[in-house]
Structure 1
Amino acid sequence: MANVWHKKSNRRIADLDIGNCLMKDGETIKLHEENVMKNTKKLQNSLVIKVFGDNILAYVINSKIKRQWLYLGKFNLTWLGKGWILCSFEDEEALDLVLSNGQWFVKGQIIGVEKRSTSFTPDSLKGLTTPIWIRMPSLPLQC
């Protein structure tokens, strides 16, 4: 039995038997358009979320989000790295409810929410929003 803690050696693409998955140049992998379309459809009702502030363990974030959004029906959380989580819902209504009903928190830390797009990159915070309330006592009525 192999020891799972040992790092596996890298394999060169040229050494793999990948049959008809290469382009004519022999170096570029072909994408199967039907698989890309199927995966795009699966991601249609997805959000990317990020918990800001202190580092919180993944299992804690997972349990807190699932508890808060339990009423939305089935959804799946996938860890993307760099603190980002993909949240895929079964229907668009659940996605819209998250986007419109919240200030969402995990252990007092605010959650940024963005509808997943093809331009998403884990290195950017562009487009990430969360509604917040700001209290300004004694603000003049005209303001």
Structure 2
Amino acid sequence: MEASSSEIQNNGVQYADGNPIPVTTQKEELAKTQASWATLVAGNKYASKGMTLTFIAPVIENGEKIVELQRAEVAKGTEKWNKAVILYVVGEDPSIGAIERFIASEWNFVSKPTIYYHNEGYFVIKLNTLEERNEVLYSGPYTLRRKPVIIKAWTPEFNFHEEVLKTIPVWVKLPNIPLNCWENETLSRIGSSLGIPIYADDCTSKVDHISYARILVEMDITQPLLDKVKLKDPERKLFEQIIAYEWKPMYCGVCLMLGHDCNKGQQQNAPRTQPQMIQQSPVKEIQKPPQQQRKKNAPRKEWKSLEQGVAEASSNQGPTAAANKGYEQGEDPLG
């Protein structure tokens, strides 16, 4: 069987009419493209500050490109961020400057961290050591401008909408819990009935006070939060343990957001039944007495000069005035 006038041999060389023609491979074409772009940005001061990237071919599975991440590379990136925490302020959108002031005031036990803002409304705080991160996580609760502050450890699987807006750490008090229930395992069992127990505070761990135990539990706030749980002691006796929240988060099932509840707002704004008004007879206007009316309508008196007043007084003299006049002329007024 004769070969066609044009065929490709295994060595990557194409033959046409017996004459070899070099074939440009995909890698060579890609190398030329990279070289041309590299020449384009060569000497650019901004390009020199960034990272140089290289082409790594994706894997083709069922006709679809799939990028395979390498364990060592991902572990290297995780190492950079495992000291970070996620910070979110409920109902507030503070600036980086406000977060810096908050950290300087509330986290004065840590070295200055690096703050990153995500446009979904939360911050990533990159601390310097794991010890600082743990101390931040186990302190609190915190508020900023009277708004609750949610703090969570960063994880590679972190998803803001699934974790911060639905599953958050909440400090819980267990008032009057029996003293023989303060062990690590027992508190973990009680916390597991609420969510995922994380931590018992220092006073609880050292039993510095016995009025209540205080534990940090990661809870799904999309579900109703329990106010009490039932415990069964080794003697099979049941009793209830009250659950008290230092801050009880509010979740809106309509907006799927943390910090408010539209259903409660609608109940508060619902129209109320107005009480029926009692009809009253119209109030009559009180008429002023006639005397006051006459005084109001009386003509105003005119001012008179001193001479006019003296002349009127002399023409209207009474008996007393006449007697005084006669006395002045030497006559006896009594006769």
TM-score range, shorter chain: 0.5 to 0.7
Q: Report the 3-state secondary structure (helix = DSSP H, G, I; strand = E; otherwise coil) of the residue aligned with 1:50.
A: strand
Aligned match of 1:46: 84
The amino acid that maps onto 2:144 is: V
Q: Which has the higher contact order (CA 8 A, sep 6+)?
A: 1
Aligned match of 1:21: 56
Given candidates 168, 172, 180, the residue that maps to 1:128 is 168
Note the residue ranges of structure 1 that are not aligned, 5 or more in a row: 1-15, 134-141
**Are residues 121 and 36 of structure 1, via their aligned partners in 2, closer, same or farther at CA, if it must alter by over 3 Å?**
same
Displaced runs of 4 or more, over 4 A: 16-19, 24-33
Q: TM-score, normalised by structure 1?
A: 0.66
Query: Take 1:52 and 1:120, find their aligned partners in 2: how far apart are those partners?
Result: 18
Contact 2:59 2:68 in 1 (8 A): no
Query: Take 1:79 and 1:63, find their aligned partners in 2: how far apart are those partners?
Result: 15
Query: Take 2:115 and 2:54, find their aligned partners in 1: how far apart are those partners?
Result: 33
Verify: 1:116 aligned to 2:116, yes or no: no
The amino acid that maps onto 2:169 is: T
Verify: 1:104 aligned to 2:116, yes or no: no
Q: Which has the higher helix share?
A: 2
Q: CA deviation at 1:49?
A: 1.4
> How many residues align structurally?
120
Deviation by residue 1:104-129 (Cα, 9 ceiling, x = unmatched): 12222211011112221122224322
Q: Report the 3-state secondary structure (helix = DSSP H, G, I; strand = E; otherwise coil) of the residue aligned with 2:78.
A: helix
Q: Report the 3-state secondary structure (helix = DSSP H, G, I; strand = E; otherwise coil) of the residue aligned with 1:113.
A: strand
Aligned match of 2:73: 35
User: RMSD of the TM alignment (CA)?
Assistant: 2.9
- Shifted more, 68-77 versus 106-115: the winner is 68-77
Q: Which has the higher strand share?
A: 2
Note the residue ranges of structure 2 that are not aligned, 5 or more in a row: 1-32, 35-52, 174-240, 243-335
Q: Which has the larger radius of gyration?
A: 2
Q: CA deviation at 1:52?
A: 0.8
Q: Report the 3-state secondary structure (helix = DSSP H, G, I; strand = E; otherwise coil) of the residue aligned with 1:62.
A: helix
Query: Take 2:58 and 2:116, find their aligned partners in 1: how far apart are those partners?
Result: 31
Query: Take 2:93 and 2:55, find their aligned partners in 1: how far apart are those partners?
Result: 44
Q: Report the 3-state secondary structure (helix = DSSP H, G, I; strand = E; otherwise coil) of the residue aligned with 2:103.
A: helix
**Are residues 66 and 22 of structure 1, via their aligned partners in 2, closer, same or farther at CA, if it must alter by over 3 Å?**
farther
